[in-house]
Amino acid sequence: MPVPIISLQKAWKTYQMGDVDVNALRDVTLAINRGEFVAITGSSGSGKSTMMNLVGCLDLPTKGRIYLDAKDISTLHESELALIRGRRIGFIFQQFNLIPNLTALENVMLPLEFQDASQATARQHAVKLLQAVGLAERIDHLPSQLSGGQQQRVAIARALSNNPDVILADEPTGNLDSKSGVDVINLLEGLWKSGKTIVMVTHDTQLAQRAKRKIQMKDGQIVGA
């Protein structure tokens, strides 16, 4: 059997709120295989965002284990997790998270420059990515000069800049009109068909239907998969 690209084994995430322990994730075991398109769904407070943070190496479990390609990353230091995030995971957020004083091109170049690519190499690659998401004519525009759908496409190009193994999309159409939302989910589906592993968090049941596997969260646990 293939080794899952990401797996959680009996993972808990507990936050201390004063004298009370709040279990945002409770005894979760999950395996995501390379090349899957997975949607994590659930209402607010269900644990889906906590799950995303663990899968994306943004946080570590209070108890349990997380494996990336069979390597236990549960006890790594933040600096080591940051290296994994930079090289192997691309993030797409609901709020786009573009740097407002950088152009579309510069936003996409930034992760490459963090990985010590030369400016010429970073620029050449960023231009190709922006062309691929249909923004060839907008590369010198600031985020404030772009529509919401265009900003999200810049964010997708940025997420692809280091050719990550996994793309994590957190409510990727949450701030978009319906047409722009369709364009973005079509892009994500195209990336999946090209071989990328896609993990998407959404409360939109129609959007979740586009994924090939759905994981439903409730009260910090998986209740449907």
Q: What are the residue ranges spanned by the domains of the chain?
A: 36-59+79-224
pLDDT in tens, 121-154: 999 999 999 999 999 999 999 999 999 999 999 9
Global pTM value: 0.88
C-alpha Rg value of the chain to the nearest Å: 18
The pLDDT score that the predictor gives to residue 1 is: 64
In the structure, what pLDDT confidence band is assigned to residue 13 with cuts at 50, 70 and 90? Answer: very high
pLDDT in tens, 210-225: 999 999 999 999 997 7
| Tally of CA atoms within 13 A in the half-sphere of 218 that contains its CB | 4
The correct answer on CATH 3.30.420.40 for the domain covering 36-59+79-224 is: no
CA distance 156 to 186: 12
pLDDT in tens, 29-55: 999 999 999 999 988 889 998 999 898
CA distance 204 to 214: 12
